[in-house]
Structure 1
């Protein structure tokens, strides 16, 4: 055991290394696929998400909702484990409703961020929820990027999920201060589309949520990120174009099990009987 004055304890790391040497396999890490994006525009926040839910290498849902309502002026995109993001946003929404009833005033966006961070930090990353939270209050539009361990970033644009790298490439190139609302919506569409095209765990449709002082507008399937390819026509295969190299005849007798015979014939072009 390490002395109590030591800041870190690596006993579990040594234990895992010994187990691996003994032949035990380490648990395989889980990969979750999602592309979620948030952008701060002039007096508005635009959130975007893809709609593909995966279970391993299989597409479980092509039209999954990843943008969750917390309040009328606060919405949240979730990446990670679908059940964790859904339950976390549901509990936070209920807590914010109670806070609004107790204070009799509009809940600030930072209050929602603080509530989520406290819950995630308490579980030390065991809740697989990476969130992009956006809203507009009397302090203006705000955007928070919240990580599963409870840390956060307050930034003008962000992306999370497995399509982050491709989405951030679009955001860093296209974002600037005082973006108009239409420019912000188009930038979010391009970022989600880039994430879907470069990540197998993201795709299907693009959902948008525009939050302003007047309220929020949630648009389902604003654009198709990855359309299903349809085979046009049929591949023509000519008859009698396959050559039979050999032919095998296996005769089975009903009376004697040992009466099986095999005959071989030279290769001849195969033809269908008239």
Structure 2
């Protein structure tokens, strides 16, 4: 019989991160309304427990009236190659790409490199065929269309709020308020999300950027830095 002092101590491996990989976080969101979409994100970039940037712009231009929101590794979510491909598409076909085409291009890159990239993307915008549309591309690939989408570490805290609060048929102002309030709630609960909120209203008329500083956000009881 083995003496208690000689017993092997088992240490559970609770980390799912690869060697040298940082634990990153964010809160991103997109919601479609009649005539367009609203995209939004917090502005905190983290490296583990270290806040690397408090005012990051996570809304990335892809093409005319098409943007993406980025979560995961900041380096892995850079979408410059897709922007170049969409520009080439417009020159080749003589027409602007749709939101679905942009989302499909990004999804292809993420799926083909699913073992190398840590990237979760929301693609949203307006085009003349489908109007305002939202596509979710989770880690590892996949393409899902929905009237609204949230992602990032902060999203786990607000799924229930979104399910209960969202109503089809909202106008632009109601949708903008919904995105602001949802992201503010996520930021108050998720330690890896914070800073300010950057939003963009995308319609046939163009893109309107909206900035909400941290001290102007609804306060749900959490301190923001």
TM-score normalised according to structure 2 size: 0.85
- Moved beyond 6 Å, runs of 4+: none
Task: Name the structure 2 match of 1:92.
Answer: 82
Task: Name the structure 2 match of 1:171.
Answer: 162
1:144 pairs, out of 117, 135, 145, with 135
Shift of 1:167: 2.8
Whichever of the two has the greater Rg, that structure is 1
TM-score normalised according to structure 1 size: 0.70
Q: Residues of 2 paired with 1:26 and 1:180: CA distance?
A: 45
2:186 pairs, out of 190, 195, 216, with 195
Q: Residues of 1 paired with 2:194 and 2:15: CA distance?
A: 28
Which stretches in structure 1 are left out of the alignment for 5+ residues?
A: 1-20, 229-274
* 1:1-274 mapped onto 2 (5 Å cutoff): 29=17, 30-86=22-78, 89-138=79-128, 139-219=130-210, 221-224=211-214, 225=217, 227-228=224-225
Q: Report Cα offsets for 1:59-91 as digits up to 9, x if no partner.
A: 1100011000001210000000011112xx111
Structure 1 pair 120–215 and aligned structure 2 pair: CA distance change class (3 A)? same
Shift of 1:32: 1.5
Q: Residues of 2 paired with 1:187 and 1:107: CA distance?
A: 28
Q: Is the CA contact (8 Å cut-off) linking 2:200 and 2:209 kept in structure 1?
A: yes
Q: Is the CA contact (8 Å cut-off) linking 1:168 and 1:191 kept in structure 2?
A: no
Q: Residues of 2 paired with 1:141 and 1:26: CA distance?
A: 41
Structure with the larger RCO, 1 or 2 (CA within 8 Å, 6+ apart): 2
RMSD of aligned alpha carbons: 2.1
Q: Residues of 2 paired with 1:61 and 1:126: CA distance?
A: 24
Length, aligned pairs only: 205
Q: Residues of 2 paired with 1:207 and 1:62: CA distance?
A: 12
Q: Residues of 2 paired with 1:96 and 1:60: CA distance?
A: 31
Q: Report Cα offsets for 1:30-67 as digits up to 9, x if no partner.
A: 42210001111111100110000011101110001100
Q: Is the CA contact (8 Å cut-off) linking 2:188 and 2:224 kept in structure 1?
A: no
Report the secondary structure of 1:149's partner residue: coil
Q: Residues of 2 paired with 1:174 and 1:66: CA distance?
A: 24
